[in-house]
Amino acid sequence: MVRTDDDTWDINESVGATALGVAGGRAAETNSADPLISDPYAQLFLEAAGDGIWKIYLDGELAAELADLDTQFGERMQAMIGYTASRTKFFDEFFLDAAAAGIEQVVILAAGLDSRAWRLQWPEGRVVFEIDQPKVLAFKIQTLEAHEVASIAKQVCVGIDLRQDWPKALVDAGFDISAPTAWSAEGLLPYLTSAAQDLLFERIRSLSAQGSRVAVEAFTNEFFGAESFARRAEQMERYREAAKKLGGKDIGESGNLLYEEERVEVVDWLRAHGWDVTTATGAEDLMAGNNRAVPSSLDGAVPESVFVEARLP
Ligand code: SAM
């Protein structure tokens, strides 16, 4: 799978399918004995999406068979579920704190199958703008409507690619440029080139009134390095081979959807552009704080990332 500057996708293909992977992690965590987060809608998305690698989160038998073929498989999958759960909790708390502080307008960049507008206890009058490719948002809305799930905050779809003129689309959809905003970029940055990432942050900055906040899953330059990429490619190949050996069970192909290139560290960028960085917690610390520490025997089981929050004074 080769990325292009103007590629598009549905929920079950290319970058769109990564949203199902994240929903899988949230479904697995929600269904676990002592969940860190609750996302009752994640499973609905997996069920509606048809066959693909994401089924692994619903099919205990398939996961068990893969674990038999690769002894580390179960541990690695558990580590990623712990990562997804910790990340979800981080952003849940960010939004609820911002809403409690009086911020009325939220923008979720690359919302994918994020169901926060439907599942968080938002105070009255909050608006959640969601930006993602049109087919991804359409799948989400259709699935929730089919199950008669109503949103708690007012939810507004802005179906557009983040490499196009999304600020205009956002304003056209009712975004108020004079009001403070809570922004999130979760599970997004590696799918953008370094230049597209810079442009994204410039646009966020220019649309942010005083008092705005931003939360980012920032990936370190170690993550974008060749070694880290090679390790992920090797893991992916192992699972593909294992799945093939199971015979008849197609867990799909994902290929490399990420842009392997160094970029400006998000914390540095934000500080240089007037933001006050209030939190920068490494993934390992975040997970350990949530009782989801990755066993030291597992190398590279979760992304090298930093969870950042910043405010515009
Ligand atoms: N933020 C969601 C979450 O954490 O559950 C989804 C994360 S998923 C890994 C990546 C999402 O980014 C997908 O929904 C994909 O469609 C979206 N995405 C990636 N690049 C994009 C772009 N250039 N424009 C719009 N959406 C994009």
Q: How far, in Å, CA of 249 to CA of 68, rounded?
A: 15
- Ligand 1 center–CA 139 separation, angstroms: 13
Q: What is the pLDDT along the chain (313 residues), one digit of tens a residue?
A: 579 999 999 999 889 999 999 999 999 999 999 999 999 999 999 999 988 878 888 887 877 887 777 778 888 889 999 999 999 999 999 999 999 999 999 999 999 999 999 999 999 999 999 999 999 999 999 999 999 999 999 999 999 999 999 999 999 999 999 999 999 999 999 999 999 999 999 999 999 999 999 999 999 999 999 999 888 888 777 777 766 665 545 555 556 899 989 999 999 999 999 999 999 999 999 999 999 999 988 888 999 999 999 999 9
Closest CA to 302 of 242, 255, 257, 235: 235
- Ligand 1 center–CA 185 separation, angstroms: 9
- Ligand 1 center–CA 272 separation, angstroms: 26
Ligand 1 pocket test: which of 11, 18, 20 has the largest number of ligand atoms within 8 Å of its C-beta?
Answer: 18
Closest CA to 87 of 43, 41, 23, 139: 23
Whose tokens are 């899988």? That residue is: 24
Q: State the pLDDT at residue 157.
A: 98
- Ligand 1 center–CA 18 separation, angstroms: 7
Q: Which fold has domain 14-311?
A: Rossmann fold (3.40.50)
| Ligand 1 closest atom vs CA 113 | 5
- Ligand 1 center–CA 110 separation, angstroms: 4
Q: State the pLDDT at residue 234.
A: 80
221: number of Cβ within 10 Å: 13
Closest protein CA for atom 8 of ligand 1: 19
Q: Which residues line ligand 1 (CB under 6 A)?
A: 15-16, 18-19, 22, 110-114, 132-133, 136, 161-163, 186-188, 191
Q: State the pLDDT at residue 237.
A: 79
Q: How far, in Å, CA of 9 to CA of 152, rounded?
A: 28
Beta-carbon contacts of 63 under 8 Å, excluding residues fewer than 6 positions away, are 56, 57, 73, 74, 77
* For the chain, domain boundaries: 14-311
Closest CA to 214 of 183, 189, 185: 183
